[in-house]
């Protein structure tokens, strides 16, 4: 385990691609969860995600493998496997070997498609999913735009990035922002919801100051699904998709959608400014150098202005195999809250 970040990979649903990045009949090699895998889309549009090595004689399905109907075909002897890892054809055999006939023999991973994302379930012991990816209504609403996407790859861990949102003190020093109110936060099993709302003074299209009601809602569903819904001068939604590649490296994808407005309009310009701020030094790119080098301290010395960091760690600890990667967590949380 990485000594800089002494945490295992969290259990959960993670983005492994956007839906339109995998065409019908396409086969792709991917690496996530410290595992090499092969992803493919069948002729009916279903997605399969499997180990890359054919259990027959060890050929790599991601190098020369092809989709045939609802199966992926090995390039070596043309054995075929469906999305559940069951052999569907051996072209030169009279019958499928009885011990594997109708049974999975190629290891596959649970996948689903929601919100224009291909999600894969990770559990180190291959335990089946115990919750679902949540549907985001705006992602299929024709009144909302298509996505603007951005991606980064760097050394860090999903918890470090998720925890950043409750570390309220750093916004002033890293992002040169005013104090960020915590608002109301609710923990409901694997879901965390926070809501901040109130009046905000903005410069409107006429160049005048105007007080608008605004709100910021953040929803986290497990370790890998998170989104922020903003309303105010413009209404938009940001999917924050953090996926572990290995124990100490992540892919981070941002996907923005917004209410539709004319290209070049005042709102369109405001939207692009919001994206630039969220992506740039006042947002993610201000954090990356710190994440890339910081150590995760299991027992940090905290002060009363740091935000509910230990409460968040208590929530996040449920996504680890032992259910709690912090034996000392209860004591620390009660100390911070007192």
- Secondary structure of 103-168 in HEC code, one letter for each residue: CECCCECCEEEECCEEEEEECCCCCCCCCCCCCCHHHHCCCECCCEEEEEEECCCHHHHHHHHHCC
Residue 225 is predicted with a pLDDT of: 99
| CA quadruple 277, 282, 286, 287: dihedral, nearest 10 | -100
Instruction: List CB contacts of 105: < 8 A, sequence separation 6 or more.
Output: 55, 81, 85, 86, 87
Residue 337 is predicted with a pLDDT of: 43
Residue 335 is predicted with a pLDDT of: 42
Give the residue ranges of DSSP H helices in the chain: 158-163, 170-174, 266-279, 284-293, 309-316, 329-337
pLDDT in tens, the chain (338 residues): 568 999 999 999 999 999 999 999 999 999 999 999 999 999 999 999 999 999 999 999 999 999 999 999 999 999 999 999 999 999 999 999 999 999 999 999 999 999 999 999 999 999 999 999 999 999 999 999 999 999 999 999 999 999 998 988 888 889 887 656 667 999 999 999 999 988 777 788 878 888 888 899 999 999 999 999 999 989 999 999 999 999 999 999 999 999 999 999 999 999 999 999 999 988 999 999 999 999 999 999 999 989 899 999 999 999 999 876 555 444 344 444 44
Question: What gap in Å lies between CA 283 and CA 277, rounded to an integer?
Answer: 6
Domains identified in the chain and CATH numbers = 21-115 (2.102.10.10), 139-318 (3.90.380.10)
Residue 56 is predicted with a pLDDT of: 98
Question: What gap in Å lies between CA 147 and CA 140, rounded to an integer?
Answer: 11
Residue 210 is predicted with a pLDDT of: 83
Residue 333 is predicted with a pLDDT of: 43
Closest CA to 119 of 104, 107, 135: 135
Residue 326 is predicted with a pLDDT of: 57
pTM assigned to the model: 0.92
């Amino acid at each position: 385990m990485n000594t800089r970040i002494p945490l295992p990979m969290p259990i959960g649903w993670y983005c492994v691609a956007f839906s339109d990045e995998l065409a019908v009949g396409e086969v792709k090699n991917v690496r996530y969860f410290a595992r090499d895998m092969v992803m493919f889309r069948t002729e009916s549009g279903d997605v399969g995600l499997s180990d890359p090595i054919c259990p027959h004689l060890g050929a790599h399905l991601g190098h020369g493998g092809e989709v045939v109907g609802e199966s992926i075909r090995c390039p070596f002897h043309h054995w075929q496997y469906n999305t559940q890892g069951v052999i569907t054809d051996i072209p030169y055999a009279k019958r499928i070997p009885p011990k594997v006939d109708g049974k999975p023999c190629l290891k596959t991973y649970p996948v689903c498609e929601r919100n224009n994302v291909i999600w894969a379930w990770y559990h180190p012991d291959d335990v089946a999913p115990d919750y679902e990816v949540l549907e985001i209504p705006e992602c299929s609403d024709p009144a909302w735009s298509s996505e603007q996407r951005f991606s980064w790859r760097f050394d860090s861990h999903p918890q470090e990035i998720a925890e950043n949102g409750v570390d309220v003190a750093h916004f002033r020093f890293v992002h040169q922002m005013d104090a960020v109110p915590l608002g109301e936060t609710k923990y409901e099993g694997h879901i965390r919801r926070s809501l901040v709302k109130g009046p905000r003074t903005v410069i409107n299209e006429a160049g005048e100051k105007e007080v608008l009601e605004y709100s910021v809602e953040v929803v986290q569903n497990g370790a890998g699904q998170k989104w922020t819904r903003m309303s105010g001068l413009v209404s938009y939604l940001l999917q924050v998709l953090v996926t572990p590649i290995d124990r100490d490296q992540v892919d981070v994808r941002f996907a923005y959608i917004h209410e539709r407005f004319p290209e070049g309009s005042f709102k369109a310009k405001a939207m692009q400014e919001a994206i630039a701020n969220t992506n740039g030094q006042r947002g993610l790119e201000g954090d990356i150098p710190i994440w890339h080098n910081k150590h995760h301290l299991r027992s940090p010395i905290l002060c009363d202005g740091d935000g509910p960091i230990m409460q968040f760690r208590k929530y996040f600890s449920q996504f680890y195999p032992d259910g709690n990667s912090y034996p000392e967590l209860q004591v620390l949380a009660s100390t911070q809250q007192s």
